[in-house]
Structure 1
Amino acid sequence: MGVDEFDPFVRGLDYPMFVVTSAHGGVRAGCLVGFVTQASIDPPRLLVCLSVQNHTYRVAREASVLAVHVLASDQHHLAELFGGQTGDEVDKLEQCRWRPGPDGVPLLQDCTPRCVGRVLARHPLGDHVGFLIEPVVVEGDTSADVLTLQQCHDLSPGHPA
């Protein structure tokens, strides 16, 4: 089955959008991500999927931790920053407020809730790689309205997925 046959199934789905950040070897990165899901209840685990085309993926494949930031419905500007530009050409973190977290991972100061997780495993999943992470720091809660995929259809990606 190809993309044309599969698209009608996923086209109308709506799910939260996230900014995932990473750091390794003095290089930091972040990107807009739609593929994040809880993968286990006990022990707690998240699965974060990054496009292999993405600068953040290239940093994350060597990183020990990832930070997963949930975007609020009024943070479209962060979705545009982290989804509409590529880290191959611009340091997106120079354009927002952040502070270093565990192992230097950038934590967006205006973006909670967030979860920092230790990378336990990396799994190829087609054009994305799944990072299984174990939460080590969780801040905030998701009681506010979150930004969703349907609210981001106006964005032009910084590069093909």
Structure 2
Amino acid sequence: MTPPPTVDTRPFWAGFPSGVAIVTALAGDGRPWGMTCTSLCSVSLDPPILLVCLRCGSPTLEAVQETGAFCVNLLHDGARGTSNLFASGAADRFDRVRWRAGPGAAGPHLTEAAHTIADCAVLEDRTVGDHAVVMGRVEGLARLGPQRPLLYGRRRYASWPEAVDADEAGIAPVPLRLASVIEGLG
């Protein structure tokens, strides 16, 4: 029996715009890893669980699996260059951006590129095709400022028409354990 032909779904997904995030993690040796990700969605609000899909074999996925933690950095519309950098696989990407990973951080916080950051603990990961679906419980949330989210679709970037403040977005104040990290960004 001949297997069915593989369907190229890239045009389908190009027509489905999404926000842009960079998933980051620290390996057991403390080395930072990260990759651009548009495969992100909410799984549950109570408890707060999200999922990301990461390419099998990527060092970022390996760091997430090794440490059981990761960070989701939601990018603002001024961070197109950072999105491209982390999609490129450049070995020196963390040398070319500003980031912090202090107490309470599940991975590097991209302090100049992100408008909101979620620190997550891995609940489960499962390989599906050429990616791993990683579910994480959101342990902390930090809003860095009212920015317009970076969007991607039809193979190009766009932005939200206006900035949204934290109250309008429904984001609670920064938890105390993350407040010291954010205050130290200066």
TM-score, with length taken from structure 1: 0.82
Match of 1:25 in 2: 28
Give, in whole Å, the separation in 2 of the partners of 1:9 and 1:150: 10
Give, in whole Å, the separation in 1 of the partners of 2:133 and 2:145: 23
Aligned length: 150
- RMSD in angstroms over aligned alpha carbons? 2.3
Instruction: Specify every segment of 5 or more residues in structure 1 that has no aligned partner in the other structure, as ranges.
Output: 155-161
Report how far residue 145 of structure 1 moved: 2.4
TM-score, with length taken from structure 2: 0.72
Q: Percent identity?
A: 25
Match of 1:107 in 2: 109
The one of 84, 90, 112 equivalent to 2:88 is 84
SS in 2 for 1:131: strand
Q: Which moved more, 1:127-136 or 1:55-64?
A: 55-64
Match of 2:131 in 1: 128
Q: Which moved more, 1:53-62 or 1:14-23?
A: 53-62
Post-superposition Cα deviations, 1:108-153, rounded to whole Å, max 9, x if no partner, equal 1112301001111111121110111011110117963221222764
Confirm or deny that 1:74 pairs with 2:78: yes
**Paired letter, 1:96:** V
The answer as to whether partners of 2:71 and 2:106 remain within 8 angstroms in 1 is: no
Specify whether residues 12 and 60 from structure 1 end up closer, same or farther in structure 2 by C-alpha distance, changes over 3 A only.
Answer: same
Instruction: Specify every segment of 5 or more residues in structure 2 that has no aligned partner in the other structure, as ranges.
Output: 158-186
Give, in whole Å, the separation in 2 of the partners of 1:46 and 1:96: 25
Specify whether residues 52 and 142 from structure 1 end up closer, same or farther in structure 2 by C-alpha distance, changes over 3 A only.
Answer: farther
Confirm or deny that 1:11 pairs with 2:14: yes
Q: Which moved more, 1:53-62 or 1:101-110?
A: 101-110
The answer as to whether partners of 1:20 and 1:33 remain within 8 angstroms in 2 is: yes
Give, in whole Å, the separation in 2 of the partners of 1:69 and 1:49: 14
